[in-house]
Structure 1
Amino acid sequence: PYAPVTEKHLAAGGMSIGALTEATQTTSDNVAANLLIKKLGGPEKITAALRAMGDTVTRLDRMEPEMNLVPAGEERDTTSPRAMAQTVAGLYTNDWLSAESQARLKQWMIATNTGARRIRAGLPADWIAGDKTGTGIAPSMANKYNDVAVIWPEGRKPVVIAAYHEASGYFENMRDQDQAVLAEVGRIAAAWMANAPAA
């Protein structure tokens, strides 16, 4: 599995929960994600927590990297853009996280380096925004590009954009043209926000 951060800590024999969470968020470190999933009781416990948060759609069934294998018709490890956007929005607007944890997550989302060509690429450069990406590339399915971005407009509640794109087929490497679809989503959202009344 992809492990750009955890592989550097093998000699030390461990990482803190905070460090694992930061690695999962900012770099999509698969090993860090798996360690956190195990610590939280496994995929079924995370799905149960999502249900308790009011998310009746999102489900986690497998570990990394298998959870990224979602060919047509697969129901495991799936969500919907609406469900994901509502759940992520809840992290910042409900009392699920302390104010300190919300601030830390915001910092990590802004520092995330995996989505530079996705939704955030379509937003004005001076906007404060962060994101969390997901990517699925396997010969058994069309490539999948996911991104959930959070924008913090001055004087307004956070705005969440969730977008999921499926390529025209399987390609061995990520393609700029596929990521550009998500950047266009960002541009459309930015244009909408520029004209939307403050909530």
Structure 2
Amino acid sequence: MQPMNEIIIVDNSSKETALKNKELLAEFKGLEYIHNSLNNLYLSYNIGIERLDHKTSDWVTFRTDDDRYYEKAYLNLLEQYGSEYNVITGPYWYEDAFKPLPTPERPLSTCIFNKKVFKEILFNYHKGADWEKLKVIFNLYEVAFGDEGLMRKREHSKSVDFPIPNRPIQTYVNFFTF
């Protein structure tokens, strides 16, 4: 298992939510957690690329409301890391993964992650972990869970099956069996 200090999270949520997320993940020593307080695509995108290039990160997230920047960043990341990393987009991040570029109906949000590392995190670190910690790992940004974010996300999609706290963890483990 790779040490946790090789995992980085860039959180694009509000300052208050980011602080809460950081607290929830405090038990995972060595996890590097960066709050992108400007909620700026280039900040988180550049942080992620730099760290991926130096092999010190296995996870980068970014989000933007401008699809022109989003598409460019998405394509750049896919081109550079497509063989090692997978891209998950939109509200159906656990159902609609590995599809082409997102459509205008989907929220503009993306995770790129190392499959092997993510799978090991699930099986080795989160057996029996409570949902509050898991939901931060799975989504990494407030937009999927905050009340305001939930409403914004629903505006982009007619039907969204959001994860809920009492959903069995096995649902996600099955999906991420590579």
TM-score range, shorter chain: 0.3 to 0.5
TM-score norm. by structure 1 comes to 0.30
Higher relative contact order (CA 8 A, sep 6+): 2
Which structure has the larger Rg over C-alpha atoms? 1
